């Protein structure tokens, strides 16, 4: 299943939540292509269900509240840049 069509209808916030729940880290200094690939892979891991990814975000926020805000800011900024490049 390709998630390309479903990704088109997602907001930056939706995509950032999916990136947040992926294994990709800011310290990896990922390229825009790596970000898009990680988001697509993570969405596939969640069977295309964004609510599953959102649940992982909530769990991570509860488990590591001290790093949540910085990671989410990174995810939002990174998604914005990665999808602006793709446009």
Residue range 24-77, pLDDT digits in tens: 999 999 999 999 999 999 999 998 888 898 898 999 899 999 999 999 999 999
Quote the crossing angle between the two packed helices 65-86 and 12-20, to the nearest 10°. 120
Residue partners of 72: CB distance under 8 A and separation at least 6: 16, 20, 57
Give the tens place of pLDDT for each residue, 6-28. Answer: 566 789 999 999 999 999 999 99
Q: Do 53 and 43 form a contact (C-beta atoms < 8 A)?
A: yes
Residue located via tokens 């995810």? 75
């Amino acid at each position: 299943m390709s998630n390309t069509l479903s990704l088109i209808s997602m907001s930056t916030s939706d995509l950032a939540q999916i990136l947040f729940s992926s294994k990709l880290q800011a310290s990896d200094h990922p390229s825009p292509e790596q970000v898009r690939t990680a988001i697509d892979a993570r969405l596939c891991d969640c069977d295309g269900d964004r609510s599953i990814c959102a649940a992982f975000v909530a769990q991570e926020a509860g488990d590591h509240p001290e790093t949540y805000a910085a990671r989410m800011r990174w995810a939002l900024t990174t998604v914005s840049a990665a999808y602006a490049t793709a446009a």
